[in-house]
Amino acid sequence: MIRQRVYKSRVFFLWCFCTLLAAMIQTNWPNLLKLQEVSPDIILVVLVYFAIAYGEEWAMFTGLLGGLYLDVAVGTTLGHYVLCYVVMGYILGRLSTRLITEHAAIKAGAVFAAGTGWGILYASIQYMQRPQSGMIQPLITNFIPTAFYSAIITPLVFLTLDRIFHRRDYMGGGLQS
């Protein structure tokens, strides 16, 4: 028997607010977050959170909303960010059903892998549009450090989102209070 989850409108509002807030922080305050000329991809971290917590549908919608905001705010080709985020949301949502995702290192590793995969996909699309720009150099100098920095801030973002969405998952048996 298939059991459908029923979510209240409050949860949808909070999801939309958190996604748009992450996009606004990423685009409006990049200098505040910069460390050695690298800024974290906060939308990707939020996307990984929703992939792990709620599945691929929520992650894909997070990628759609955050990607649309970034496409408009940054001024790239419309759909460039959307495609990359939605693909990563689907892949991570599917993988999260097969991984034990409650360990902090697994979550940070998932963010790093998603950031690297997102960078490869983004650089590939960029290379197809403009072959003279190159593909390997932006990947090494920008996308890999961004994925690493995003993985470092993962525990902080995940803890904040867990508090907002009141998620309390317990692993294993034993006493639970």
pLDDT digits (tens, 9 = 90+) for 73-99: 988 788 899 999 999 999 999 998 887
CA 177 remoteness from chain centre? 31
Amino acid identity, position 11: V
pLDDT of 68 strictly over 90: yes
Residue written as token pair 């909303």: 65
Least confident of 11-15, 24-28, 118-122, 136-140: 136-140
Burial tier of 172 (Cβ tally within 10 Å: 0-12, 13-18, 19+): exposed
Residue 35, strand partner residues = 38
Q: How many CB atoms lie within 10 A of CB 96?
A: 22
The model's pTM: 0.85
Residue 69 has what pLDDT? Answer: 94
